[in-house]
């Protein structure tokens, strides 16, 4: 079965712009989480969506937002980009039930110049 698909794979944006990243989870997975990964901070949790509702939120400013659609696809948006937003953004989905592992996508590499 298809894995988690993230688009685009690479993005270059200018400070002050906004960006939207897309994630298609594995079929049947209703939980989608987003993480930011940087060399200095590692994997930092952004938010989790389940059945179109935000279930958990990390400690990121309001410039970072997300949503989930009825088909479980998810998007995250970053407005007013800053240089420090340059990172690998990873989306992960999980099967229903407790104790299941994430399946991650390959990520979107965002560079802010």
Partner 1 sequence: SQKIEQNSEALNIQEGKTATLTCNYTNYSPAYLQWYRQDPGRGPVFLLLIRENEKEKRKERLKVTFDTTLKQSLFHITASQPADSATYLCALTRYGQNFVFGPGTRLSVLP
Q: Which residue's structure tokens are 């590692």? A: 42
Closest to partner 1 by CB, 12 or 43: 43
> In whole angstroms, how large is the CA radius of gyration of the chain?
13
| Residue 7 interacting with partner 1 (CB under 8 A) | no
Question: What are the tokens at 67?
Answer: 């949503």
| Residue 97 interacting with partner 1 (CB under 8 A) | no
Closest to partner 1 by CB, 106 or 111: 106
Q: Are 79 and 103 in contact (CB under 8 A)?
A: no
Q: Which residue's structure tokens are 């979107």? A: 108
Q: How far apart are CA 67 and CA 89, in angstroms?
A: 15
Q: How far apart are CA 61 and CA 70, in angstroms?
A: 26
Closest to partner 1 by CB, 1 or 14: 1
53, 83, 98, 113: which one contacts partner 1 (CB under 8 A)? 98
Closest to partner 1 by CB, 42 or 62: 42
Binding residues (CB under 8 A) for partner 1: these are: 4, 33, 35, 42-43, 45, 48, 55-56, 58, 88, 90, 92, 98-107, 109
């Amino acid at each position: 079965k298809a894995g988690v698909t993230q688009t685009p794979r690479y993005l270059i944006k200018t400070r002050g712009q906004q960006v939207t990243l897309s994630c298609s989870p594995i079929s049947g997975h209703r939980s989608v989480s987003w993480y930011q990964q940087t060399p200095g901070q590692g994997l930092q949790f952004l938010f989790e969506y389940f059945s179109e509702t935000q279930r958990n939120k990390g400690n990121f400013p309001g410039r970072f937002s997300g949503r989930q659609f009825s088909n479980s696809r998810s998007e995250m948006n970053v407005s007013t980009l800053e240089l420090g937003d340059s990172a690998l953004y990873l989306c992960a989905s999980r099967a229903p039930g407790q104790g299941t592992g994430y399946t991650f996508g390959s990520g979107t590499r965002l560079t802010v110049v």
